[in-house]
Structure 1
Amino acid sequence: MVKFFIDPGHGGTDPGATRNGLQEKNLTLQISKKIRDMLGEYENTQVRLSREGNQTLTLNQRTNAANAWGADFLLSVHINAGGGTGYEDFRYNTLSASSTTGRIQSAIHSAVMVAIRGFGVSDRGAKSANFHMLRESNMPAVLTENLFIDTPQDANLLKRADFIEAMARGHVNGLANAFGLKRKVTTKPVTPPKPPVTQPKPSVPTNPKEDDDMLERAVVINGFADFPAAERLALYLKAPIYLRSIVTGQKVAKELYIVGGTKEGMVANKVTLLSGADRFETAAAVANFIK
């Protein structure tokens, strides 16, 4: 069981940043609730929010709650301000990019940028800082800054339901990749056969209809060593990145692009192998494909 503690920044008497008819506290709660609901699509997950409504909470109350619950990961969701544009996220500044927290941050960052690629959002990078939520948590923690509320072009995106949905989905895809989450298997009810007609009309065979919710394409990696090459490919294809352990034996997209490893266990209409003997040959295979 993986326990995720999601912290919607600000709230109550603290509205956070405000501009362009928006309040940070409302946006962070909206995004956080969608992240919680989407994480419910995966097996063996528990999610707790620091606030479910417009409550006023201190920073200590938030980290104390996460620590007392024994969360495995803390995600603090914020909206930026200060005249910039784009998305960025932070880990605690004493931790390297290769640390456990750094690898989780990288997975989230990559997946978010892929999810919102079509909206023309600037990538401000994966960064580090001495923030309370990152410093005082007993578990790996990442703080995300989801666009600038005081920049009109960013504010216009934050007013769109499809953008908020994509932003939340990017966070969840990143967490699923980082923690090796598996989607819950749902079974569709069986429809009883219709009684035969006396003079049946001849039917033309058709291919099974693809699930309406099925992704067009996805990138699959063996491990985090394949991330640099896979990230380039994912941006090119506008596709999410999954760990092999998540998609083995499951159909998560119509097309799969394998970066590192083999086609074994991959289920899709089309599987493209972009792997070499080592990560350098794999990166070269990806580069040739993109060209």
Structure 2
Amino acid sequence: MKLYLDPGHGGTDSGATGNGLLEKNVNLDIALRIRSILVNNYENVDVQMSRTGDTTKSLQQRTNEANAWGADYFLSIHCNAFNGSAQGYEDYIYSGLSDSSPSAGYQNTIHAEIIKVNQLQNRGKKKGNLHVLRESNMPALLTENGFIDNVHDSNLMKQSSWLQNVAQGHVNGLAIAFNLQPQQDDSDIIYKVVAGSFRSRDNAEERVAFLSSRGIESFVATVTISGEIWYRAQAGAFSTRANAETRLNEVKNAGITDAYIISEQQTTVLQSTINE
């Protein structure tokens, strides 16, 4: 399944604002979590994102990209805003579609899974004449994950556990709708993406901060090689090499051209490359 995942707004377009939050940031956080869950846990899922950082992209660029790629599904992540008192979750398909359309069928399934876990008032399944729904060639859904200007909803948006639950709800719906199969863990090998190894922890932290600015999650891992301590900027660990290769390409596209993959079996490192 080829999913075009669209965190709404970004860059110069902040989207809705409220209670110290910017919609563009909440949208991106949820979308990155959705991608991570999908590529790390399901077979035969290819995810392309309209943005992985705080960049500006037009609505036409988003739908043109999804159409050219030949995506099977277009999923746009948003938050709502109105008058401070409105609250809850709702989602949209294109208003020109019937209730028996594929988009409506996917909406039914995904909506049901999201409202199980998001702790938000259910405002229902809706239709709208929105560009990303109208101009995408494939079935499409736009989710509005709470009202950012509502105190109750925005307090939830500030919690990492809530963001993770919302992402998981989206994934649960996608897995049912597209009959996604869990990855089979039949090997002890783990593939780790290393975006640099350093003698100085400060240098490793700087690399992690850079990756974060590009929307790529990473952390500092400590490893001892030939009696010396090294600090790695690690951008993920995967049970399949294909998923590791996908992340490696993202890291390289962000400008870390010397990033590489190491294979580990239990505690034995099979291959390692060191960068000063």
TM range (shorter): 0.5 to 0.7
Q: Give 1:73 shift.
A: 0.2
Tell me which amino acid in the other structure corresponds to 2:95: N
Corresponding residue number in structure 1 for 2:11: 12
Tell me which amino acid in the other structure corresponds to 1:52: T
The alignment status of 1:141 with 2:143, answered yes or no, reads: no
Q: Give 1:126 shift.
A: 0.6
Q: Give 1:187 shift.
A: 3.1
1:175-194 to 2 correspondence within 5 Å?
175-187=174-186, 189=188
Corresponding residue number in structure 1 for 2:112: 110
Q: Give 1:188 shift.
A: 6.1
Q: Give 1:105 shift.
A: 0.6
The alignment status of 1:73 with 2:77, answered yes or no, reads: no
Tell me which amino acid in the other structure corresponds to 1:101: S
Q: Based on CA coordinates, which of the two structures has the bigger radius of gyration?
A: 1
Q: Give 1:52 shift.
A: 1.0
Corresponding residue number in structure 2 for 1:99: 101
- In structure 1, what is the Cα distance between the partners aligned to 2:67 and 2:172? 24
- In structure 1, what is the Cα distance between the partners aligned to 2:162 and 2:93? 24
**1:119-178, CA deviations, whole angstroms, 9 ceiling, x for partnerless residues?**
3x1000010000000000000000000000000000000001111001000000001000
Structure 2 alignment gaps of length 5 or more: 190-276
Q: Give 1:182 shift.
A: 0.6
1:1-291 to 2 correspondence within 5 Å?
2-40=1-39, 41-83=41-83, 84-116=86-118, 119=119, 121-187=120-186, 189=188
Q: TM-score, normalization: structure 1?
A: 0.63
- In structure 2, what is the Cα distance between the partners aligned to 1:97 and 1:145? 20
Tell me which amino acid in the other structure corresponds to 2:64: N
**1:249-283, CA deviations, whole angstroms, 9 ceiling, x for partnerless residues?**
xxxxxxxxxxxxxxxxxxxxxxxxxxxxxxxxxxx
**1:52-82, CA deviations, whole angstroms, 9 ceiling, x for partnerless residues?**
1111011001101101111000001000000
- In structure 2, what is the Cα distance between the partners aligned to 1:136 and 1:17? 23
More strand by share: 2
Identity of aligned residues (%): 51
* Coordinate RMSD, CA, aligned: 1.2
Name which structure has the greater RCO, CA cutoff 8 Å, separation 6+: 2
Corresponding residue number in structure 1 for 2:196: none
Structure 1 alignment gaps of length 5 or more: 191-291
| Number of equivalent positions | 186
- In structure 1, what is the Cα distance between the partners aligned to 2:12 and 2:153? 24
- In structure 2, what is the Cα distance between the partners aligned to 1:91 and 1:32? 18
Q: Give 1:94 shift.
A: 1.1
Q: Give 1:22 shift.
A: 0.3
**1:1-30, CA deviations, whole angstroms, 9 ceiling, x for partnerless residues?**
x10000000000000011101000001000
Q: TM-score, normalization: structure 2?
A: 0.66
